[in-house]
Chains A and B, each alone.
Chain A
Amino acid sequence: MSEIERNRLRNAERSVADLLEANRSAPGTVLLEMLNVSIGTTQRSLVSDFSIRVREGRVTALVGASGSGKSLSARAMMGVLDVDPGLSAGSLRYPARSSRDWFEDVRGRGMGAQHTLLRASESLRGGYVTYSPQSASSALNPGRTVGRQLEMAIRRRETPPAEGMAAAVAQVLDEVGLPHRASRALVGELSGGQAQRAALAIAIAPNPAIMIADEPETGLDPVLRRVVTELMINVARRHNVGLVLITHNKDTVDRIADDMVLIGEDPWARYR
């Protein structure tokens, strides 16, 4: 029985409350800890008192209804805030690296402080934490071949690849099941599924500690959706990455999540 299958059976017996509790108390090194975060505009609150912990080797599903602030929270986890006045409360730490609270000088200080945070946290993004956006086409640059984009991502590793750049690119392509010739292709020449695999390849190429995948199933047919999520989970487990998976999909959460974090209302409450 595969690990994904075991997970599915285990999660089928667990309630949403169990999954939520797991995020608070699960074992393993905490890679990211964002606690009691509130973000809003002058007119309304966008995220209120939101907390999440991301642990090494675990899949944390971030679940919420449309417009509940999932993507905004995901960006906040990487230090990307661009809402005016923005962050009013909360803290962001990467305990595996340091005890620094990255939000310390940002809370209640508006756009200027958020821009300072954006610059200060540049070295973390694309290295310690990577992000795969909703649409693969947004993650990939249509003006560059997949291989060149992978090279840029590999260069962000803390230690350069000993086997050389070409071999490192080939290895990453193998991991996501893309043929080596894909490295010479432009994004427009890839199919939807291949583009999604290429986006995943770019997200894992820097050997990140944390990977945030923002609804990776968007725009894919049901078969491809399953293939992509299972590929993502396999790759994340192989590299012991803490994976944050933003999703609406209950089936995906049941199949692959170790923990769950709700943002806003429980989107599935009415179906129970």
Chain B
Amino acid sequence: MRRAAWKSAAWTAAGASILGALVLASLAAPEFLSRPNLAESALLPFTGGPILGTDIRGIPITEYALQGAGVVTMPALVSALVVAFLAIVAGLARCAAISWADTAIQLFSELVGALPRLVVVLVVALAMPAEWRSLFPIGVTWALLAAPGAMDEAASTAGRLGGAKFVEALRAHGFTATRIYLYHIVWLNLRGVIVRQSADIMMQVVFLEIALSYLAESQQQPSLTHQDSTFSWARLLYDGYTAIVGGLPLFHELFVGITLVAATAFMAQAFRRGAQAR
């Protein structure tokens, strides 16, 4: 295998490993946190008691990390899939030279692109009844609002291939329609754009959740993205930061929170690099 291919495979494997770990963590997330044990295990460091230590109430940090993964992973994945799907549709419409589809996509892009993304997301979040609070509608809304950029890029990449002429040439080589559209166009040529855009959206949805939950934590309000019984990674960041400001030794809580945020950013970057290298 050539060096560039190794590089691409290594980056993709790194991204996929983190994604895999996130999915496993979300599946392993406890429905409720352990009962606080102030007397025995409050403020244990990394090496004492449960792995990664405990918080000020004696609850293992791992439980927060797992619950946080449970809050963000599936909605972020679904949002990424929404963007990937729309980018594929836009790319294929350009190659198939379906003029009405191209017009409809352009109209959708112009309408959605004109909406203020954060305001719409907040409206959706506030419009959800309290018992349905989840990151899913917020993530999907974010993905829909961000999709025009991905669709534009996919369509222009498909256009640079030669659009309908490229399909025609492949037909003349005797390839079936399925092989032309799914393999030659989507897999070989649009994959980079789709992976990069989807990875970006995934990261953005995670960061959006952390930001909204952090705001809720700091205002002592219920979160817009998850039920009150669960906690997001924002809890680790908020607890860690406020404890340090208050002079409590909770560096490990902040460290775990920052590590999780950094891992998410690294995952997106790894997928981007993997898709870029040939």
* Interface residues of A, Cβ cutoff 8 Å to B: 75, 78, 80, 118-119, 122-127, 130-131, 133-135, 137-139, 141-144, 153, 156, 184, 186, 202, 212
Please state if A144 and B172 are interface contacts (CB–CB under 8 Å). Answer: no
Question: Which 9 A-B residue pairs are closest in the complex by CB-CB distance?
Answer: A126-B174, A143-B188, A131-B172, A125-B174, A126-B173, A138-B162, A143-B189, A138-B165, A133-B169
> Residues of A contacting B278 with CB < 8 Å?
186
- Given A75-B168, A133-B168, A141-B188, decide whether A184 and B2 contact each other with a Cβ distance below 8 A: yes
> Residues of A contacting B46 with CB < 8 Å?
none
Please state if B174 and A123 are interface contacts (CB–CB under 8 Å). Answer: yes
User: What are 26 sample pairs from A and B whose C-beta atoms fall under 8 A apart?
Assistant: A78-B172, A80-B171, A80-B172, A119-B176, A125-B174, A126-B173, A133-B165, A133-B168, A133-B169, A133-B172, A134-B165, A135-B162, A135-B165, A137-B162, A138-B161, A138-B162, A138-B166, A138-B169, A142-B160, A143-B184, A143-B187, A143-B191, A144-B188, A153-B173, A186-B278, A212-B172
- Min Cβ gap A144→B in Å is 6
Q: How many A-B residue pairs have CB under 8 A?
A: 61
- Docked complex Cα distance between A101 and B176 (Å): 22
Residue of A nearest to B176 (CB): A122
Give 1 or 0 for each of B37-78: 1 = CB within 8 Å of chain A CB.
000000000000000000000000000000000000000000
Apart from A123-B174, A125-B171, A133-B168, 7 more pairs, CB < 8 Å:
A119-B176, A126-B173, A137-B162, A138-B168, A139-B169, A141-B189, A143-B191
- Docked complex Cα distance between A133 and B173 (Å): 10
Cβ of B132 < 8 Å from any Cβ of A?
no
Cβ of B108 < 8 Å from any Cβ of A?
no
> Residues of A contacting B191 with CB < 8 Å?
143
- Docked complex Cα distance between A135 and B163 (Å): 12
Residue of A nearest to B161 (CB): A142
Residue of B nearest to A202 (CB): B173
Cβ of B6 < 8 Å from any Cβ of A?
no
Cβ of B175 < 8 Å from any Cβ of A?
yes
> Residues of A contacting B172 with CB < 8 Å?
75, 78, 80, 125-126, 130-131, 133, 212
Kindly identify, within residues 137 to 173 of chain B, every residue whose CB is under 8 Å from any CB belonging to chain A. Answer: 160-162, 165-166, 168-173
- Docked complex Cα distance between A212 and B2 (Å): 35
- Min Cβ gap A68→B in Å is 18
* Interface residues of B, Cβ cutoff 8 Å to A: 2, 160-162, 165-166, 168-176, 184, 187-189, 191, 278
Residue in B171, B184, B191 whose Cβ sees the most chain A Cβ within 10 Å: B171
Residue in B169, B175, B187, B189 whose Cβ sees the most chain A Cβ within 10 Å: B169
Please state if B169 and A130 are interface contacts (CB–CB under 8 Å). Answer: no
- Min Cβ gap A94→B in Å is 14
- Given A133-B165, A137-B162, A138-B166, decide whether A127 and B174 contact each other with a Cβ distance below 8 A: yes
Residue of A nearest to B190 (CB): A143
Please state if A131 and B169 are interface contacts (CB–CB under 8 Å). Answer: yes
Q: Please pick, from B162, B166, B175, the residue contacting A126 in the complex, using a CB distance under 8 A.
A: B175
- Docked complex Cα distance between A212 and B169 (Å): 11
> Residues of A contacting B189 with CB < 8 Å?
141-143
> Residues of B contacting A130 with CB < 8 Å?
172-173
- Docked complex Cα distance between A123 and B189 (Å): 25
> Residues of A contacting B161 with CB < 8 Å?
138, 142
- Min Cβ gap A58→B in Å is 21
> Residues of A contacting B174 with CB < 8 Å?
122-127, 156
Residue of B nearest to A186 (CB): B278
Please state if B169 and A118 are interface contacts (CB–CB under 8 Å). Answer: no
> Residues of B contacting A127 with CB < 8 Å?
174
- Docked complex Cα distance between A125 and B168 (Å): 12
- Min Cβ gap B138→A in Å is 34
> Residues of A contacting B162 with CB < 8 Å?
135, 137-138
> Residues of B contacting A124 with CB < 8 Å?
174
- Min Cβ gap A16→B in Å is 28
- Min Cβ gap B21→A in Å is 30
> Residues of A contacting B160 with CB < 8 Å?
142
> Residues of B contacting A212 with CB < 8 Å?
172
- Docked complex Cα distance between A127 and B173 (Å): 8
- Docked complex Cα distance between A138 and B172 (Å): 11
- Min Cβ gap B183→A in Å is 10
- Given A126-B174, A130-B173, decide whether A80 and B188 contact each other with a Cβ distance below 8 A: no
> Residues of A contacting B184 with CB < 8 Å?
141, 143
Residue of B nearest to A134 (CB): B165
Please state if B188 and A118 are interface contacts (CB–CB under 8 Å). Answer: no
Please state if B173 and A131 are interface contacts (CB–CB under 8 Å). Answer: yes
Residue in B2, B160, B168 whose Cβ sees the most chain A Cβ within 10 Å: B168
